Amino acid sequence: MSCVAGPDRGFATVLSPGTHTIGRAGTIELRDPTVSRIHATIRLDARGVRLAYPDLPWRRLPVDRKRVRLRFGDTTMTIQHLRPGRFTSAFDAQVMMRVGAPALICLAMIPMALSGPAWRWAMVALPGFMALAGWLSLRQSRRSTRRGRLLPVAPEDVLIHVLLGERGSDERVVPRCLTSDVLWESGEAWSILGPDTQGHAMWLAGWLAATHRRETLGVASPWINTADDDSDIVVTFLPHDAALTPSPGQVVVTYGGPLPWAVPIPMRRRARLPQGTKRWISALADALMQDEAAASLPTRTALGDILELTTPAVRRRWDATTLGSTLAIPIGSDEDGTAILDLAAEGPHALVAGTTGSGKSELLTTWLLALAATFSPATLTFLLVDFKGGAAFGPLARLPHTIGVLTDLDMSDTIRALTSLTAQLKRREEIFVRYGVRSLSEYSVLDDADKPDLPRILVVIDEFQALASDAPDVLDQFVRLATQGRSLGVHLIAATQRPAGAVTPAMRANMPLRLCLRVTTPADSSDVLDSPAAAELPAIPGRLIAAGHATRTLQCAWAGPLTEVEALVSDLSAQWAIRGGGHVSVPWAPTLPARVTLEQCDGAWGRADEPELLRHTSFTPTSRHLMVIGGAESGRSTTARLAAHQLSAAGEHVVFVTSQDIAWPGIDTVALHDIHLSRILVEAAQSEPSRLLIVIDDLHHWRAALDDALGPGTGNDYVERLTRCAARFIAVGDTSLATARFAAAFPERLVLAGLDAVNLSVCGVPNRMSPGPGAGRAFHIPTGRAIQLALPEDPVPLRAARQPRFRSLPTGTPNAPAGFAGWSLPAAAPWAPRITTSVLIIGPAGSGRTTAAHTLAAICRQQGRRAQVIDNASAMDERLMAPVDCDDVLIVASDPATVTYAAAGPLAALKTSSSLLLLNPQRMTRVAGMSFPIPGWVYAQCPAMNHPGRGVWIDGYGATIIQLASRISSGDPRLPKRPAC
């Protein structure tokens, strides 16, 4: 961005990514009095360059296509896109378009011209001439480009030339506006004539200083000085009234008036010297000074050049270091040679900042490798925290010093590590009190072979700005941890790309060592160093400013390519293994195993993680009711089986409602979609408060089935009844349970895996916490602990078998025991009807109506009574009019429609005097005018009632759900007493 007109003419700046303000008080300062304090705002990001005036929207500037001119008050500025590299590539798209394509066409047309008339050669020559013309134009444009880049003339271009780090020429060059008579040879004396000779002289001095190396040509002037004893020639600028004749090795340029012994400086035809301004020459001098300072440091230093990495050298350093040793290591090069950085002495905590491409990750890699090659894992360990996905540290995770890598992909592990580290600090404090020491240094010199090993713990956080945005409380915990661990051997290195706004006062107070690589804005630099100096560092990876005991500029060492880093990590790991070091002890309990068995739990439900106590303990729910919520493949149904098993093992009467096809001795199993048995179960729980222990798997499906069969709201109503009346209630289902109206009755919950962040929040899991992957892994509410539940393959209840109270009816109409017609709810016990005079069987086609009639007739015969069966009876069926003996039983079967519309006649009379058997009642409409009232639940849409022979027996004793058998076994059963006629 350059100023081409106005009071700041010649001023230029390189626009870095980010947002900048333009004005008298802006980050891009203009000294034009007609410009506001904040006149405009300009932004450079992935969307390009955009400009906005106060209270106006952003507009995009097409700098990628042309130079854009902007006017602010009396100041005119231009913005242009400078592509990398001094010269354009020799082979690019223009070469192919202007030269390659015509040449290929020419070659392709030669065979056609050879086999045809002569005029075809004119067609061949045309693309040939086009290729030649294109080559000449490209050559001329490249010469112009090369000349323009090597010899910038406009003041703003000269300043940009320096700001971009373009090195000066090794040969003496002359600006294009002067003739070739000027050679800058010793003894030359030139005089600048014109109306503003000082401005011209100022420009010429700046141009010479910018385009020449100090050794080739030095400048001595009132505005800028680059001359020293090593300069081959010195061009001295003096006013005409103080000018002296040139001495050997000197060229004198005067301004302000003519001199008899000075030759007017020769100009090319129609050319003139540009003018410089004081702001331009001042900015140019500052840029040259920074460039000289940067050039005094090497651009790259290998880690192996400043630290011996051979196996014997590493072993010697490992043997020489102790727990009380400082953390001094060579980190790179400075003006005095090798730069030493001591985290323990200058810290104990450090803050690192640097924009993308500045070498921040390389600095962390070099720092950690140098520490690992100097201190053994017995004295120093690393905890790496990467909030860029986990790939920043790469092979460093395999160092023997590394005790863990925490990422933003699993915040639960990060919070667990923080909790454990806090507990570890308390443990160290107790050890220090017991031994009567105040710091790790004092503890290390104790002569006690039985004292616990307490290595230093270095926590390295890469991209803590993301941590500050996503989890500010977690970052605060890290900072508090570092504050408490100053004397306990805990150190913290926090690194980020954008420190602006992320560096808190607590971090500034506790991180005296600060390393800042190149950053995009002065504000970023000021947040770290309290100085904008880092924003002006050259674009050299690894160049940084370190502020500790003193502020200095360093060139960080480079650890080498990835293959060399991996080789060094492997070598350090091998050396530690040879020494018999094994795995380094971590400052927290190991993570919960992926699977535990019932035998390992000693009667408990699983294992609980207690990071604050650095241990694992047994887990058993303590509340009266428990809700288990999980996603698919999370072990939800297996957890329900585990609950039923553990409750039954304690000697309790357990009822297990499930869709699983299982039958366990000692546990009453109720089919999930058996609506009528579920209804009976709820009524039994109400009639016997605090006696039943109920486990319902897939409670959300159970509620939906009850709502479909018995009406909306029935499912929630039944669940609320169970929460009030059941001794214990274990509800297992999906996330809909967490928002149900009965959720408050379940203060204790287990949230399993398979849920996203939104559903976890709905279930009551705190933000950024999760159960973790794997079947049986759960998050316990309200303790917030991680639980690994036992997942038995086929749990066998420990309680002896007993007669069940609740069991679904059998299917397939098997044979019934002798003397019984079938089975009845709630226990699926054998059932025999109490038949008086007549039975009316009502059922649709396919419901087993005929079979039911003959089964009941067989029961009558076993009871010593005759039975007359009339199947498919109509309203005026003559068979119904025949007289019936007092000892005979009339069994009539008909379809629902016939019975419903029988308003008169023998069938209508039978409706008001017979026992009823309704088969598959959910498939029929309500039948009116019966001898006994029919409850509304009889017609519920229950899938369990769809089997042939399944129905409801209604007599004077009430309604009973039964399953009739297809055949009755022979034998000598204990028959019910024959009722009187």
Has residue 367 got a pLDDT over 90? yes
Confirm whether 717 is domain-assigned: yes
Residue 146 — very low, low, confident or very high, per pLDDT cuts 50/70/90?
very low
pLDDT band at 380 (very low <50, low <70, confident <90, very high): very high
pLDDT at residue number 527: 83
Pick the residue with more confidence: 106 or 292? 106
pLDDT score recorded for residue 91:
44
Q: Tell me: pLDDT of 89 over 50.
A: no
Highest mean pLDDT among 150-154, 250-254, 356-360, 975-979: 250-254
Q: Which of 680, 696, 699 is nearest to 688 (CA)?
A: 680
Q: In this model, does residue 303 exceed pLDDT 80?
A: yes
270 has a pLDDT exceeding 80: no
Q: What is the pLDDT of residue 94?
A: 60
Residue 570 covered by a domain: yes
- Cα 833 to Cα 186, 914, 970: the distances in Å are 133, 13, 17
Last residue of a domain, one of 20, 54, 79: 79
Q: Are residues 779 and 638 in the same domain?
A: yes
> With contact defined as beta carbons under 8 Å apart, do 260 and 276 qualify?
no
Whether the pLDDT of residue 868 is over 50: the answer is yes
Rounded-to-integer distance, Cα 856 and Cα 868, Å: 10
Question: For the residues 216-222, what does the mean pLDDT come to?
Answer: 90
- Confidence at 290, pLDDT banded by 50, 70, 90: low
Q: Does residue 835 sit in the same domain as residue 923? A: yes
User: Do 635 and 568 fall within a single domain?
Assistant: no
Give percent of the chain with pLDDT exceeding 90.
21
Listed ranges 1-5, 291-295, 377-381; the one with the highest mean pLDDT: 377-381
Q: Mean of the pLDDT values across residues 883-910?
A: 80
Please give the biggest Cα pair distance in the chain: 160
376 and 522, same domain (yes or no): yes
Q: pLDDT per residue over 420-476, tens digit each?
A: 888 888 888 889 899 888 888 888 888 887 888 888 899 998 887 777 777 777 777
pLDDT at 689 (0 to 100): 85
Give the integer Cα–Cα distance in Å for 605 and 871.
Answer: 57
Q: For residues 396 and 530, state if they share a domain.
A: yes
Determine the Cα–Cα distance for residues 554 and 637; give it in Å rounded to an integer: 61
Predicted confidence band at 226 (pLDDT cuts at 50, 70, 90)?
Answer: confident
- pLDDT cut 70: percent of the chain above it: 91
pLDDT mean over 888-911: 84
Is a pLDDT exceeding 90 seen at residue 181? no
Q: How big is the chain by its Cα radius of gyration, in Å? A: 46
Q: Decide if pLDDT at 980 tops 50.
A: no
- Determine the Cα–Cα distance for residues 365 and 6; give it in Å rounded to an integer: 48
Binding residues: 354-361
What's the pLDDT score for residue 978?
38
For residues 332 and 546, the answer to whether their CB atoms sit within 8 Å is: no
Residues 740 and 837 reside in one and the same domain: no
Residues 886 and 771 grouped into a single domain: no
Average pLDDT of the residues in 135-146? 60
Report CA-CA distances (Å) from 542 to 334, 353, 546: 12, 11, 12
Average pLDDT over residues 648-652: 75
Q: What is the reported pLDDT for 568?
A: 94
SS3 content of the chain, % helix, strand, coil (to 5): 35, 20, 45
Q: Which residues contact 875 (CB under 8 A, 6 or more apart)?
A: 898, 901, 902, 903, 904, 905, 907, 908
Residues 836 and 887 in one domain: yes
Over range 864-878, report the average pLDDT: 80
Q: How far apart are CA 333 and CA 306, in angstroms?
A: 8
Q: What is the mean pLDDT of residues 354-358?
A: 86
Q: What is the pLDDT of residue 84?
A: 44
Residues 839-861: pLDDT tens digits?
899 999 888 888 888 888 888 88
- For 431, other C-beta atoms within 10 Å of its C-beta total 15
Q: Is the pLDDT of residue 638 over 50?
A: yes
Query: To the nearest whole number, what is the mean pLDDT of the chain?
Result: 83
Q: Would you list which residues are annotated within the binding site for ATP?
A: 354-361
Helix or strand run (H / E) with residue 423: helix 411-435
Label residue 517 by pLDDT band (50, 70, 90): very high
Q: Indicate if 382 and 330 belong to the same structural domain.
A: yes
Tell me whether residue 317 is in a domain: yes
Please give the full DSSP string across 615-669, using - where no structure is assigned. Answer: EEEEE---SSEEEEE--TTSSHHHHHHHHHHHHHHTT--EEEEESS----TTEEE
Write the CATH number for 34.
2.60.200.20
Q: Specify the pLDDT at position 292.
A: 62
In a domain, 95, yes or no: no
Contact criterion met (CB below 8 Å) for 409 and 389: yes
If one counts the domains in the chain, the total is 4
What does the pLDDT average to over 869-886? Answer: 74
pLDDT bucket at 599, cuts 50 / 70 / 90: confident
Q: Mapped to the 3 state alphabet, what secondary structure does 700-748 carry?
A: HHHHHHHHHHHCCCHHHHHHHHHHHHCCEEEEEECHHHHHCCCHHHCCE
562 in the same domain as 520: yes
**Contact at 8 Å (CB) between 745 and 725?**
no
Domain-terminating residue out of 63, 79, 95: 79
Same domain flag for 723 and 821: no
d(CA 188, CA 180): 14
The model's pTM is 0.62
Lowest mean pLDDT among 398-402, 423-427, 526-530, 874-878: 874-878
CA distance linking residue 276 with residue 268, whole number of Å: 19
Closest CA relative to residue 368, chosen from 565, 618, 91, 645: 565
CB proximity list for 463: less than 8 A, separation 6 or greater: 386, 387, 388, 392, 495, 496, 497
Does 528 lie in the same domain as 476? yes
Whether 88 is covered by a domain: the verdict is: no
Residue 747: inside a domain: yes
> What is the rounded average pLDDT of the residues 498-509?
75
Q: Which residues form the domain of 22? A: 2-79
Last residue of a domain, one of 791, 824, 851: 791
Question: Residue 692 — φ and ψ, nearest 5°?
Answer: -90, 140
**Residue 187 belongs to a domain:** no
858 assigned to some structural domain: yes
- The CATH number of residue 766's host domain is 3.40.50.300
pLDDT for res 95 = 65
Cβ–Cβ < 8 Å for 677, 658: no
Comparing 38-47, 71-80, 142-151, 484-493, which segment has the lowest mean pLDDT? Answer: 142-151
